[in-house]
Amino acid sequence: MSPEIRDILSRLIAFPTVSLQSNLALLDYVESLLVPLGITVRRFAHPDGTRANLWATVGPEVDGGVVLSGHSDVVSVAGQRWASDPFVLREDAGRWFGRGAVDMKGFVAVAIHTMMQAAKRDLQRPLHLALSYDEEVGCLGVRGMIDSLAREPLRPAFCIVGEPTGMRLATGHKGKTALRACCTGRAGHSALAPDALNALHLGAAFVQRLQARQAELALRGARDAAYSVPYTTLHAGLMRGGEALNIVPASCEIDFEIRNIAADDPHAILAAIVEDADAIAMPYRDRFAEAAIRIDTLSSYPGLDTPIDSPTIACVSALLGTGLPTIKVAYGTEGGLFAKGLDIPTLICGPGDMDQGHKPDEFVAISQIEACFHFQMRLLGLLEKGGPLSAE
């Protein structure tokens, strides 16, 4: 493995590209490596100009080729206790430590190095690098870039999203819809509580209905045995409301989510939840006309479910050379957006274990980076020979 990869990763980690903050300095660095080699680079900026996606292409301007996709943002280190500076790469016991080491600047460092090597090769099909922003907060940034690419005449053959899979080949993940239930009651003095409508009580009833829906999905819902939790899940993560103990609260907010397997329609599940919300508020409206539970969508991204008989799976499995069966991952990625937006087969395969991400002393095993490097070098060899030729 080239020592250049370590140097690139060290520089990438040094940029504190926490979601919703600028990643432009990181993109400047990536461009400084790629543009002098003749690699074409474009940016797709956020409307406020503070951050951007990057799309780089090396090789001929023809259909086919491969996208290596990663995100530039990382989660915050606030409130975490690290053994060393999280934005300085540290090596210990065969591991590289730093914020983003596994999620997912380790993969990005290898992909940048692969692009640089590709500039020296006589590729018959192109190699693309996609770097997005704000992935960690709902896969927000990449959408504008995908929308623009979808309007272009040339189309990649497939996409590899380099989220950590232990270099196993993953064919899918669940979709996610993040939602907020806004409960409206009527304020009052707690000494006269029966004369008011407690929004926290509305919220508690709503959470009970979520639990009942979850139990129903777990008992009788669709199944996908490839997941560790093989059914669609509902989860309430935040509840806010109230100002003081002696005030009946007039408002309450509950943030919750749907993580659906491919066989379930999240819109149908949401419609049922909206009906539940209205049924909770309805009995109170004779006395409190304002009684309501409104459901707002905060963000969503589609699931990924690449068919197991896809020729792309056979192609990438051969390049990996491990002989291991495919998997599906519990976490979400931008893969569903690439698959749906560009209408191309999309797979997930990257170094490390997501269990190490988002934690203090995040790390990626150097052996995993080496495996990723060798895989991408074999991918370059395939592009030199002329395959993959086109999208399915």
Tell me what pLDDT residue 165 has: 98
- Domain closes at, from 261, 278, 301: 301
Supply the pTM of this predicted model.
0.92
Q: Give me the residue label for tokens 């956020």.
A: 46
Angle value at C-alpha 199, between 196 and 201, nearest 5 degrees:
95
Please tell me the total count of domains within the chain: 2
Tell me what pLDDT residue 218 has: 97
Separation of alpha carbons 183 and 293, rounded Å: 4
* 83 and 138 assigned to the same domain: yes
pLDDT digits (tens, 9 = 90+) for 245-261: 999 999 999 999 999 99
Average pLDDT, the chain: 96
Tell me what pLDDT residue 390 has: 56
* 191 and 140 assigned to the same domain: no
The fraction of the chain above a pLDDT of 70, given in percent, is: 99
Q: How far apart are the first and last CA of the chain?
A: 32
Q: What is the maximum alpha-carbon separation in the chain?
A: 80
Q: Is residue 120 situated within a structural domain? A: yes
Decide if 292 contacts 281 (C-beta within 8 A): yes
pLDDT tier at 2, thresholds 50, 70, 90:
confident
Separation of alpha carbons 58 and 120, rounded Å: 10
* 294 and 374 assigned to the same domain: no
* Nearest of 368, 229, 392 to residue 313 by alpha carbon: 392
Q: Is the pLDDT reported for residue 160 higher than 70?
A: yes
- Domain membership of residue 29 as a residue range: 3-173+303-385
pLDDT digits (tens, 9 = 90+) for 97-141: 999 999 999 999 999 999 999 999 999 999 999 999 999 999 999
Tell me what pLDDT residue 192 has: 96
Q: Is the pLDDT reported for residue 282 higher than 80?
A: yes
* 243 and 327 assigned to the same domain: no
Over residues 327-348, mean pLDDT: 96
Give the Å distances, CA to CA, from 317 to 170, 304, 378, 387. 10, 18, 11, 15
Q: Is the pLDDT reported for residue 392 higher than 70?
A: no
pLDDT digits (tens, 9 = 90+) for 168-201: 999 999 999 999 999 999 999 999 999 999 999 9
Alpha-helix runs per DSSP H in the chain:
3-14, 24-34, 106-118, 142-150, 199-220, 266-281, 311-320, 335-342, 366-385
What CATH number did the domain enclosing 25 receive?
3.40.630.10
Residues 6 or more apart whose Cβ sits within 8 Å of residue 253? 180, 181, 182, 183, 203, 238, 239, 240, 241
* 204 and 233 assigned to the same domain: yes
* 149 and 71 assigned to the same domain: yes
* 81 and 185 assigned to the same domain: no
* 193 and 284 assigned to the same domain: yes
Tell me what pLDDT residue 73 has: 98
Separation of alpha carbons 87 and 131, rounded Å: 19
Alpha-helix runs per DSSP H in 156-294:
199-220, 266-281
Separation of alpha carbons 252 and 375, rounded Å: 50
Q: Is residue 292 situated within a structural domain? A: yes
Tell me what pLDDT residue 391 has: 53
Q: Is residue 24 situated within a structural domain? A: yes
Tell me what pLDDT residue 388 has: 75
* 315 and 291 assigned to the same domain: no
Tell me what pLDDT residue 387 has: 77
Cross-strand partners of 178: 257, 299
